[in-house]
Amino acid sequence: MSAATSSGTSVLRRSVVLKRRPKDEPSASDFDIVRDPVPAPAAGEVVTRTIWLSIDPYMRGRLREEQTYAVAIQIGEVMTGETAGEVIASAHPDFAVGDMVVGSRGWQSHSVTPGERLTKVSKGAAPLSTYLGVLGMPGATAYAGVTEICKPKAGETFVVSAASGAVGSVAGQLAKRAGARVVGIAGGPDKCLWVQDSLGFDDCVDHRSMNLRRELQAACPNGIDAYF
């Protein structure tokens, strides 16, 4: 039994699975694309159509055979990943066709997921993609780190590494709102310029600099109160 479109036409699911473990930089040849009919949901399950997929640095670590802080992807398994999409079939009382949801469902065009692993989001409250960014795991990580651990105060110096990344970019803006002087660390002049001009950081140091220590000291004349 498979899910179908409103016209009754069977839908094929495309899944990206790990074919072999990359030795260096991953390439398309390390993966396979598997096509099969979209299954119908069993009791308590929800079928979703993926609209957005987040590609994150942690994925490279999960391609290794040895386990790091996250469980390794096994050969033949669907690549992991946070997604946002639309419900197209439901056997769960809390989800209806047309609902927008987010959850960790992997690199698939369609996914069948237990309802308790999905979070419903309000249509139109924010662009759907933001639930994988500033309103998703990266934003929550930044918020918790800044407000619960670093707790910057007005006049303090708050330094953010990977300042142009999904987490660092939010962390620095939260610290700036708290009144801190925010200094970013990023790779290359273009990223540093973006961090200052677009994100509003007070300064940004290029970690590719010949003398990072000296440049960081110059950017933080009063020392560093918090390092994110």
DSSP 195: H
The pLDDT value recorded for residue 127 is 96
List alpha helices for the chain, DSSP H: 58-62, 137-144, 166-177, 189-197, 212-219
**Better-predicted residue by pLDDT, 127 or 6:** 127
Indicate if the pLDDT at residue 132 is higher than 70. yes
How far apart, in Å, are the Cα atoms of 122 and each of 16, 51, 99, 132?
29, 15, 8, 14
Task: Please state, rounded to an integer, the average pLDDT across all residues of the chain.
Answer: 92
- Is pTM, for the whole model, over 0.75? yes
Tell the residue number behind the tokens 């065009």, with chain if given: 109
Specify the 3-state DSSP secondary structure of 48.
strand
For the segment 97-103, the average pLDDT, to the nearest whole number, is 96
Q: Which amino acid is at 178?
A: A
Give me the domains of the chain, ranges plus CATH numbers: 12-129 (3.90.180.10), 137-227 (3.40.50.720)
For the segment 33-56, the average pLDDT, to the nearest whole number, is 95
The pLDDT value recorded for residue 31 is 97
Q: Name the residue among 43, 50, 175 with its Cα closest to residue 108.
A: 50
